[in-house]
């Protein structure tokens, strides 16, 4: 461990190699499911940036990417109302859309986002997440593509943050005292 933030990490949950394997697994399924089609990846900022970039490089199909930044939180509580901070730069009507997320925890924001994007009439709408945290789920939303699962621990690294820190760790670690 050489990063100054690593003193806050209790243990590595997924190594760099583990993450590469998860990305390859998800990419293989998307490559198969979307052969001959051109999906639009909708990466959710900020957490999914690293995963989205690695996923896109692992895809062998023609695809595009766009970004959204959304929130439904005031402090640490979900308001139930989605706030679009940065919207898509393209029309998704008639397109095959894959929402790319870093982790699905409560699912509240993603549930609202899915409803919003469905109202824009895509040809299809799927969800891809690097990590699924089913123990935290409060909304009826599930991913079509999942890299791995996590328990109740608070995790950081590879785009996942705590107070905007730790996103740059090349692995996913469990925070101390989580």
Q: Which residue ranges make up each domain of the chain?
A: 26-151
> 3-state class of 48 per DSSP?
coil
Q: Which CATH class is domain 26-151?
A: alpha beta
How many helices (H) and strands (E) are present in the chain, helices listed first?
3, 9
What mean pLDDT value characterizes the chain?
92
Residue 31 CA from chain centroid, whole number: 18
Which of 94, 86, 95, 84 is closest to 67 using CA atoms?
A: 86
| Residue 162 DSSP symbol | B
In angstroms, the CA 65 to CA 123 distance is 16
**pLDDT tens figures, 21-65:** 999 999 999 999 999 999 999 999 999 999 999 999 999 999 999
Confidence band, pLDDT 50/70/90 cuts, at residue 128: very high
152, two tokens: 């109740």
Residue 77 pLDDT more than 80? no
Instruction: Report which of residues 21 and 73 the model is more confident about.
Output: 21
Residues with active-site annotation? 105
Q: Measure the CA dihedral 108/113/114/119, to 10°.
A: 140
**pLDDT tens figures, 162-171:** 888 999 999 9
Question: Do the Cβ atoms of 161 and 174 come closer than 8 Å?
Answer: no
Sheet strands (E) in 75-116: 77-86, 96-104
Q: What's the length of the chain? A: 178
Which of 103, 130, 101 is closest to 41 using CA atoms?
A: 101
Rounded to two decimals, the pTM is 0.92
């Amino acid at each position: 461990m050489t990063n100054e933030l690593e003193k806050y990490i209790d243990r590595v949950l997924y190594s760099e190699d583990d993450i590469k394997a998860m990305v390859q697994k998800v990419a293989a399924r998307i490559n198969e499911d979307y052969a001959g089609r051109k999906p639009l990846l909708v990466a959710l900022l900020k957490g999914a940036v690293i995963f989205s970039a690695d996923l896109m490089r692992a895809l062998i199909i023609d695809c595009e990417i766009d970004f959204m930044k959304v929130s439904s939180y005031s402090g640490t509580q979900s308001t139930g109302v989605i706030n679009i901070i940065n919207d898509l730069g393209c029309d998704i009507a008639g397109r095959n859309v894959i929402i790319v997320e870093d982790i699905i925890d409560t699912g509240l924001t993603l549930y609202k986002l899915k409803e919003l994007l469905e109202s824009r009439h895509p040809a299809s709408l799927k969800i891809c997440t690097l990590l699924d945290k089913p123990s935290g789920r409060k909304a009826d939303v599930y991913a079509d593509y999942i890299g791995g699962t996590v328990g109740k621990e608070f995790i950081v690294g590879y785009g996942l943050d705590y107070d905007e820190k730790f996103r740059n760790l090349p692995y996913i670690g469990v925070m101390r005292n989580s």
